[in-house]
Structure 1
Amino acid sequence: MTLKLAVMGAGLIGREHANLIQANSRVELAAIADVSEVGKAFAAEHGVRCFSDIVDMLDAIKPDGAIIALPNALHADAALACISRGIPSLVEKPVADTLEAAMRLTEAVQRFGVPVLVGHQRRHSPDIAKARQLVRDGALGRLVAVNALWMTDKPNDYFNAAWRSKAGGGPLLINLIHDIDCLRFICGDIESVMAFSSNAVRAFEVEDTASVSVRFASGALGTLLMSDTAVSPYNWDTAAGQALYFPHQPENAYVFAGTKASLSLPLMDLWKHETDEGHWQHPLLRQHVTLDGSRAYENQLNHFADVVEGKAEPIVSAGDGMMTLATILAIAKAGQERRVVTIEEMLQ
């Protein structure tokens, strides 16, 4: 059976979701909800109806599933509208714009049993999945240290959308949240954070650069360095070749270090000694870890189809998305207040 999927929001990512649906034989595009003339024209190009109200669309079309690519502040209410109608949804990250809204959504999922998949698409990328497997299988030994980079140079016209220079629109919540989600997925929950942030280059209300230290619940420590004003290939989006909008610039963005080996991503090099008795005065062997060549966004759509059909639980649940949101908001708070912030504190 071909699944009918509706898309809420015909912005950049919403249009990409619609295109991915059209290219997948398991699903079909049933309708689009958008208030803009661009959205109406895009729906007409794809031969589907365009609704200006999401509730009207859900009630008229009765889709098997819905993809929510609306502004952040509308994510939770749109997902709740789906839940109340028994419709599974894929909600673009962040799961909500506030922790309160994320908690409300998580409680509704638990109460009604209607699944919500959060669109942290990197979890569906083969390099991220393989890193999780290697860490969890003990290939690195005990994980002790993690390093992540996200540095790139956004053009000036990117900020023509005024919300991107205001609170909640900076690279922490837009970009680094993906890296935090990857680290949580691979290494386990983050317990506490410390951060410094700066807006020295653009002088916007939001940060343009940040350095972050994290402590995982396992005891491992991590650092992240982020800037959207730096010319660099050191970000997963371009380094992995999985992003929809950027050129592929092969490099590494993550390093995971353990007592037996270290792993760099996305080039997938595993470094270890020849024997367990090796130490820093002995040479290291480099082993390349092969991947299956699959694509993150295509994998995410197929996983969502499995979720809609009841064949799988969401790999990123609403509760999981809430924990990633709580962690990134803790980082923002730590940067503002110059102190250690725990994730438990944020959830209270």
Structure 2
Amino acid sequence: MSRRRLALIGAGAIGRMHVERARSHAQCAIVAIADPSPQAESFARDQGLRWFADYRSMLDDVRPEGAIVATPNATHADVGLDCIARGVPVLMEKPVADTVEQARQLNDAALGARVPLLVGHHRRHNPILRRARDIVQSGRLGKPVTATALATFYKPDAYFDIEWRRRQGGGPVLINLIHDIDMMRFLLGDIVDVQALTSNAVRGFEVEDTAAVILRFANGALGTLAVSDCAASPWNWDLAAGEAAHYPRQQVNTHFVSGTDASLTLPQLDVWEYRGGKGWHEPLTHERTTPHSGDPYAEQLRHFAAVIAGAETPVCSGEDAARTLAATFAVHRAAAAGARVAPAL
């Protein structure tokens, strides 16, 4: 089967990662890059790919079968709409848009034009998370009661040399915690209430460096999340799940889901449950599942090719991504109001 011809719009770090994964991919090939920077032009030439300063010109000239959009968040809606208007399926990097309103506009346009829109919440393609979802949905945990996620890590000082990372919107809630919120939604369903506190007490920048969050899910379960980019800690998905070789992997769990019949930890996929009598005086049985390893970015490309072909529906649709974005924005709204808020959809 021939490989799907894809175009990349935006050749920053995440865009270059897509080029790397596609280089030897069986279902996809990136054939052109659109990014006006001299660094992007040089990168495209080094990779043997066609380069365009303007993405619209590239779409009209190359006529790709799909486009990966990895541009700054504020441009996602406009770029996505231009792709959809040309009938080009889109893999949009997270967040789907800069605002929930833009996310809705983008999703409505895709649905109206019947052009596939897949959003790059790549953790959904990790076999660990998919196995965890299977366990939860099987009913083995019973009724979900609580969920806890830790996203605590230390970003080096040089990371903040870029000014926007010191400003509102550049902090760990919208950049990092959005992944964990999406994981929680993927496992437990929609979030209906959010409470939160944020702090910038360590670095003193305009943006937060730490946040603590309480969630209420539609199924009645409660969740707690902690995120900090100034914590010397191994307890975060990037270090624990082994998705990227440039992070030294730590053998720890970072996400915990408890139900009335059993509990589950991630990424090590430990299940704790009673096999005999049920109660805190009874022994618990510990079982570990080890799924086959897999690169979620490579699987995301495979899935995108299948979505383009109409063989699969998006694992993360525009509607789904809009709900994750709304829940993430609700963290800042709740912290500012000092009150419980509902995600604004």
Q: Do the two structures share a fold, i.e. TM-score over 0.5?
A: yes
Aligned to 1:154: 155
Tell me the residue number matched to 2:340. 340
Whole-angstrom distance in 2 between the partners of 1:209 and 1:191: 22
Show the counterpart of 1:104.
Answer: 105
Tell me which residue corresponds to 1:283. Answer: 283
> 1:9-55: CA deviations, max 9, x gaps?
11111000011111202221210011111111110011111111110
What is the aligned length?
344
SS at match of 1:263: strand
Q: How does 1:309-324 map to 2 (within 5 A)?
A: 309-324=309-324
Hey, what does 1:331 align to over in structure 2?
Answer: 331
Instruction: Please report how far the alpha carbon of residue 110 of structure 1 lies from its aligned counterpart in structure 2 after TM superposition.
Output: 1.6
- Asked if the contact 1:241/1:250 (under 8 Å) is kept, the reply is no
Gaps of 5+ in 1: none
With 216-225 and 235-244 compared, the bigger mean Cα shift is at: 235-244
Name the SS for the 2:148 alignment partner.
strand
Matches of 1:206 and 1:245, distance apart in 2: 26
1:75 aligns with 2:76: yes
Instruction: Give the whole-Å Cα distance in 2 for the aligned partners of 1:249 and 1:41.
Output: 36
- Once the two structures are superposed, the pairs formed by residues 122-137 of structure 1 within 5 Å of their partners are 122-137=123-138
For residue 242 of structure 1, give the secondary structure of its aligned residue in structure 2: coil
Once the two structures are superposed, residues 166-218 of structure 1 have per-residue CA deviations (whole angstroms, 9 ceiling, x without a partner) of 12111100000000000001100001000000011111111100000000000
Alignment match, 2:302: 302
The one-letter amino acid paired with 1:312 is E
Q: Secondary structure at 1:299's aligned position in 2?
A: helix
Distance 2:295 2:30 in 1: 20
Question: What is the Cα deviation at residue 340 of structure 1?
Answer: 0.2
For structure 2, the residue ranges without an aligned partner over 5 or more in a row are none
For residue 150 of structure 2, give the secondary structure of its aligned residue in structure 1. strand
Give 1:75-224 correspondences, 5 Å limit. Answer: 75-224=76-225
Give 1:278 shift. Answer: 1.8
- Give the whole-Å Cα distance in 1 for the aligned partners of 2:248 and 2:298: 18
Preserved CA contact (<8 Å) 1:238 1:247: yes
Amino acid at match of 1:330: A
Deviation at residue 103 of structure 1 after TM alignment: 1.1
Amino acid at match of 1:30: V
1:12-27 aligned within 5 A: 12-27=13-28
- Give the deviation of 1:243 after TM superposition: 3.0
- Equivalent residues of 2:268, 2:290 under 8 A apart: no
